[in-house]
Amino acid sequence: QKEVEQNSGPLSVPEGAIASLNCTYSDRGSQSFFWYRQYSGKSPELIMSIYSNGDKEDGRFTAQLNKASQYVSLLIRDSQPSDSATYLCAVNVAGNAGNMLTFGGGTRLMVKP
């Protein structure tokens, strides 16, 4: 069983719509949660981090965390064609083994003009 699961997509939304990306994780000890955006052929770029249950907003992006349901989501409002990329959910379980991130497989988002 994968530790971090994402729907691979592609998720296709029209320009201006809300894109909703979802992620589930298996380790209840997870403490930190991150969303990275990765354009084709490029390295991941951090767009959001969240630590506590609830919502966290940053511009057009809102991250939502529900630890009881082991669920993290990312909402992108007013989606733009430039948002077309793969979105990676990453989870951190801090411990004696350092602070590694466990990534999901990513969801490919396509925003159509």
Partner 1 sequence: DAGVTQSPTHLIKTRGQQVTLRCSPISGHKSVSWYQQVLGQGPQFIFQYYEKEERGRGNFPDRFSARQFPNYSSELNVNALLLGDSALYLCASSLQGNGPIDSYGYTFGSGTRLTVV
Q: Which residues bind partner 1 (CB under 8 A)?
A: 4, 6, 31-32, 34, 36, 42-46, 49, 51, 88, 90, 92, 94, 97-106
Taking the complex as a whole, how short is the minimal distance between the CB of residue 52 and partner 1, in angstroms? 11
Beta strands at 101-103 and 45-50: parallel, antiparallel or unpaired: unpaired
Instruction: Output the smallest distance, CB 26 to partner 1, in A.
Output: 15
What is the per-residue burial (b if ≥16 Cβ within 10 Å, else e) of 47-85?
A: bbebeeeeeeeeeebbbbbeeeebebbbbbeebeeebbb
List phi, psi (to 5°) of 90: -135, 145
Q: Which is nearer to partner 1, 18 or 46 (CB)?
A: 46
Tokens, residue 4: 């971090």
Minimum distance between the CB of residue 67 and partner 1, rounded to whole angstroms? 13
| CB closer to partner 1, 54 vs 98 | 98
Rounded least distance, CB 63 to partner 1, Å: 11
Query: Which residue has 């077309």 as its token pair?
Result: 84
> Which residue's CB is nearer to partner 1, number 83 or number 104?
104
